[in-house]
Amino acid sequence: MSAPAPGEGGSLKGLARWRADQRYALREARQTLRAQTLGTALIALTLALALLLPAALGRVLALTEGNLAHWPTTPRINVFFGSPEPPATLLARWRAHREIAALQAQSSEASRAEFRAALGMETALSRGLAGEAMPPLPSVVIVTPRPEAQSAARLKALAEELSREAGALGVQVDLAWVERLQGTLGFFTEVLVLFQGLLTAAVVLLVGALTRMALLERLPALRTLRLLGASDGFLLAPFLYQALAYGVAGGLLAALSLLALESSLTPALQALATAYALPLAPGGSAALAALSVLAQAVCFAFLGALGAGLWVLGRFDRLTAPSPGL
């Protein structure tokens, strides 16, 4: 008595039959992967690179956006005066202004001390400017407007009003860099979404094309198995396991590379933030980001193989039909 063919009923039923079919599919997938070691490695590396590029850019954007709320984004107006101290009567009048929330006055001497500290007392330039020969710096009043007065138009109107006060040398509004940074982040976020969509499509199409080619190469063997009673799921299972192996290998490479990149670049980012006196907190869990990359790789590879497999199986009879001339 001959043994039942894989995929047909035989003496096994239900869950036992399904387990036997999956063991057979896994064995077939392992044999194919071992026979194509170099090809498998190249496919995994291609998937890893396609997933790593948008993931790394996404981590940088997440880090910047997560810290933007902790950076000094509230607009302030610096009003400079030629006198050693800002006029006290003017400060009293400004504190009662309906569009001013807070004031911080800084004397000319305090401005000099801040300037020397910014240079660093160990430098030759700071030592040369530390004496009386250093030109006097203006005193300054740092004005924080109320939240309702922080729009661009009202902020500009308030700055012009303050610049017309007697003794004022000029004003400076320090919100431009925040607006530029937010605009840049918005632009790169849109680019990231487009970039990630294109690379996702590339991963799905790559795995789908490989699965389609493998199915077409084995059409005669698959036709024989179908004649023996194998189901479509059984025919497709080895190719799905093979695609999952591509996804796991590529996802692991991308995840480990992402963790390595973040570990190597974090000290440089910390130093850059310290140079600008900005706090820098972690932009979410790096482990979760790596797991997300791995999950995406497996999901995209599976979808690509499933789509290609359904396409081939849907046209199976036509693809395996003998040519009319034969």
Cα separation of 118 and 132, whole Å? 18
For residues 204-214, b (16+ Cβ closer than 10 Å) or e, as one string? Answer: bebbbebbbeb
User: Which is higher by pLDDT, 220 or 9?
Assistant: 220
Give me the sheet containing 168-173, strands edge to edge.
100-106, 139-145, 77-81, 168-173
Prediction pTM value = 0.64
Is pLDDT of 77 > 60? yes
Note the helical H segments in 164-231. 176-217, 219-227
pLDDT band at 283, cuts 50/70/90? Answer: low
**Tokens of residue 75, six digits:** 């607009």
pLDDT band at 94, cuts 50/70/90? Answer: very high
Name all domains of the chain by residue range, CATH numbers in brackets. Answer: 16-70+179-319 (no CATH), 77-174 (3.30.70.3040)
Is pLDDT of 326 > 70? no
**Rounded average pLDDT over 258-267:** 85
Reference 85, options 102, 113, 109, 117; nearest CA is 109
Average pLDDT over all residues of the chain? 81
Q: Mind listing the pLDDT tens digit for each residue in 174-183?
A: 666 667 766 7
Q: Mind listing the pLDDT tens digit for each residue in 285-304?
A: 788 888 999 999 999 999 99
